[in-house]
Structure 1
Amino acid sequence: MKKLLLFSALICTFFTLKAQSDKDTKMVRAIFDEALERGESYQMLHFLTKNIGPRLAGSPGAAAAVEWTRQQMMSYGFDTVFLQPVMVPHWVRGKQEKGRIVNSQKIGSMPIKVVALGNSIGTGPDGTVAEVVEVQDFDELEKLGRAAVEGKIVFFNRPMDPKLMDTFAAYSGAVNQRGAGPSEAAKYGAIGVVVRSMSSFKDDVPHTGSTNYALNVPKIPAVAISTNDADLLSGLLKDDDELKFYFETHAQMLPEVLSYNVVGEIRGTEKPDEIIVVGGHLDSWDLSEGAHDDGAGCMQSIEVLRLFKAMNYKPKRTLRAVMFMNEENGLRGGRKYAELAAENGEKHIAAMESDRGGFLPIGFGMTGTDKQLKKFMGWKSLFEPYNIFQFKNGGGGADISPLRVQDVPLIGYIPDSQRYFKYHHTGIDNFETVNQRELELGAAAMASVIYLIDQYGL
């Protein structure tokens, strides 16, 4: 009798799980169909990039983007749309930047395109000119010491590792020379810094990005040059250690400005106090339209909620789309969101971020407990028909990372990364570089994971 009851229970469980699987398969298919047939992420991205454009925190463009995304989410009929005030840094690039190789034995004087690093100080109209010391890393800089560095320009020339399939891992392996290089060089008396662009491509496009000045260390001006120009400069230095470099920048940090995170939500019908967040950062660098970084992620996040509204899906839990402000040069928006979540006693059961460009989706990564990860991995088969195979341990994003101290599982959307660092932080990160179908596929994939979390939790 006990065996018969156990067998009956197993049969019942099997059919229940199969019914759930069939329901989820149909829902994921319906989400992809809606996104591919009637999606609006691409149209939204066009407006954001072409009508608003660059959106560096503290700028008029950032303020316009806040107001437009607020109105856009209201127009979709989200249950609540609100702003979270946050004070942000206000760095400005200033007048046109200039760079030049000076007195090379081989080529004489030659103009070089430079871009100031975000948060850096400017040289002023007189510019900075000095002999150049090339290093690969901070250890090499330390070995040279003050005697070899003082009064000179330090040239950080460690490339991203081209052998790594994960270009974000390659970026992580090189980016400290941009983030901390100026302060490290200043410790030894350097008067300026030139950094090789963080790019996986050989081209003539320089990449900006933030530097972070250390306390009690002199602030010195810093610029990036393209990978091709970095190779040129390195080659010239091998035979000419008296070569000089000149650059002129007019960047400055102005007083902080009031800005906002923009939050839209659909209230849950069964567990409204449990919150699932999906978001991207609304700010971008000032050199371009910020299409991949991170206009794409923002529009995909709004699209997730819009898809559910269009499909008349009533979530069990509260779903939020968050446009974070100031990821690029301060992370103030992400920190403020987590701070307010703690102050208000909000219960977030998951947070997802899209900040890797609007390219073809290949998967998701999650940071959480073993139990949460096991459940997350169990959904992989639902995505294989869409050629999305990568469900892995470890993921998240800069803006949602402050939520981790509240034990919130973090999920990072992973598109194909091979082209991302061609456009990242450049003057060519414009709307035309985004493929409509890839953007829409990404929004559908994100919405599908959000649906599964809403249905089953983590």
Structure 2
Amino acid sequence: MRNLIILLALLFSSTLSAQQAQDAAQIRKIFDEALEKGESYEMLRYLTKNIGGRLSGSPQAAAAVEWSRQQMIAYGFDTVFLQPVMVPHWVRGKKEIARVVNSKKLGTVPMDVVALGNSVGTGPKGVVGEIIEVQDFQELAKLGRAKIEGKIVFFNRPMDAKLMDTFSAYSGASNQRGSGPSEAAKYGAIGAVVRSLSSFNDDIPHTGGTRYALNIPKIPAVAISTNGANQLSELLKDDQNLNFYFETHAEMLPDVLSYNVVGEIKGSEFPDEIIVVGGHLDSWDLSEGAHDDGAGCVQSIEVLRLMKAIGYQPKRTIRAVMFMNEENGLMGGRKYAELAEENEEYHVAALESDRGGFLPIGFGITGTKAQQDKLLSWQPLFTPYGIHQLKRGGGGADISPLRTQDVPTIGYLPDSQRYFKYHHTGIDNFEAVNQRELELGAAAMASMIYLIDKYGL
């Protein structure tokens, strides 16, 4: 009996090694195709240079929908279709103006600011008043209405530079942008200025969405560059009665019709089992939206193109989704999940790329322990490509609504150290993306989708 057990173990080990060798060879094919004949970079060039920034509701967003639909048709995907979704239509209006108006040291000091997404505008008269600096909502509450009413609140909590995970640093500071204006308005503030969410000190302001609370006055809000925030803070130390002026012309218009764009390769054995890979097609209006999230969109399309190029016929249906309206509403992701439930679709997994087109270093998965263990067991297949961080916990904003249907969600993880230099800025343009890093990311994503298709989760 003991000899039989040993023999069976040896046979199993031999089979496992053969499977691993087969998978390694297939993944090598994927990387070779991406690095020698990859098309994601040229797709990104067209999306950014010919269409540009794609804020929901804009003509550019509509053009991006049609471009991505035509691109997937041209690649010969089995099915390409649109999912209608109503999205917010916020417009920035004229360029923002801001300045310190009565500094004892410097007099009038111009400041680099941009309106926060979804914010109301000041109109041509602008907003002027004493400015008061706070680090967090606890400090704001401690000051209370007596010290806040009629003033402009300056939220100046930086991202924590000590954290290696820059997305954790971003999360630790982002509530002041998302909820800060409404929190300030609770105490009678007339405007809000928020330190840009950036890992770098420079003169480039970062926009991003804010969310107004119900039954609280909507006050105008801007982001100030990190250098500007540092200078403003220094001026306030010497002059606590400092006045600040800013002018914005932002406006929220009625919702408009837009679309998620979906392309798929039908599964040969289990066509009703769906694996999603996607990014968000919309971007902020300040730049071309190359890293956020043009990169994720073209990588997702490239995943399906790579599979066709190497002659791989998936067992399950592989679906690339260009989600609309991640930046200031998440309506596309919510609509996708709503339709998936309504149509009784079964999703094996969902993978999202929304962290820029930088060098791939890993993946993170949210799901059951067994699902996580299976994904982590594939680490040796990725190690030859420098991808060494397969970890528990991960996903993305647009695929997060699928979690209510118990779909395991996977986040693609590129190196994040440079991301928050470009995120939501006027410099997130095509030139900021490295071709080889982008193509490596597409190959890594395609390899992960291949493994999920072959083995399931």
Q: Does TM-score exceed 0.5, indicating one fold?
A: yes
- CA drift at 1:113: 1.8
1:394 aligned residue: 393
2:140 aligned residue: 141
Cα deviations by residue, 1:346-378 (Å, 9 ceiling, x for unpaired):
000100000000000000000011111111110
- In structure 2, what is the Cα distance between the partners aligned to 1:204 and 1:195? 14
SS in 2 for 1:392: strand
TM-score (norm 2): 0.99
1:13 aligned residue: 12
- In structure 2, what is the Cα distance between the partners aligned to 1:442 and 1:42? 11
- In structure 2, what is the Cα distance between the partners aligned to 1:151 and 1:429? 36
- In structure 2, what is the Cα distance between the partners aligned to 1:8 and 1:158? 63
Equivalences for 1:72-91 in 2 at 5 Å? 72-91=71-90
- In structure 2, what is the Cα distance between the partners aligned to 1:269 and 1:53? 37
- In structure 2, what is the Cα distance between the partners aligned to 1:106 and 1:296? 45
2:452 aligned residue: 453
Q: Which residue identity is paired with 1:55?
A: R
SS in 2 for 1:366: strand
SS in 2 for 1:279: strand
Cα deviations by residue, 1:32-90 (Å, 9 ceiling, x for unpaired):
00000000000000000000000000000000000000000000000000000000000
Number of positions where the alignment pairs a residue of Structure 1 with one of Structure 2: 457
- CA drift at 1:5: 3.0
1:168 aligned residue: 167
RMSD (CA atoms): 0.6
- In structure 1, what is the Cα distance between the partners aligned to 2:343 and 2:173? 38
- CA drift at 1:8: 2.8
2:326 aligned residue: 327
- In structure 2, what is the Cα distance between the partners aligned to 1:110 and 1:6? 80
Equivalences for 1:225-374 in 2 at 5 Å? 225-374=224-373
Cα deviations by residue, 1:100-159 (Å, 9 ceiling, x for unpaired):
110100000121121000000000000000000100000000000001000000000000
- In structure 1, what is the Cα distance between the partners aligned to 2:211 and 2:240? 29
1:412 aligned residue: 411
- CA drift at 1:6: 2.3
- CA drift at 1:242: 1.2
- CA drift at 1:14: 1.3
Identity of aligned residues (%): 76
- Can you give the 5+ residue segments of structure 1 that lack an aligned partner in the other structure? none
- In structure 2, what is the Cα distance between the partners aligned to 1:340 and 1:6? 50
- CA drift at 1:219: 0.2
SS in 1 for 2:14: helix
* Structure 1 stretches of 4+ moved >4 Å: none
Q: Which residue identity is paired with 2:443?
A: A
- In structure 1, what is the Cα distance between the partners aligned to 2:203 and 2:26? 46
Q: Which residue identity is paired with 2:84?
A: P
- CA drift at 1:264: 0.3
SS in 1 for 2:173: coil
- CA drift at 1:254: 0.2
Cα deviations by residue, 1:219-271 (Å, 9 ceiling, x for unpaired):
00000110000000000001101111000000000000000000000000011
TM-score (norm 1): 0.99
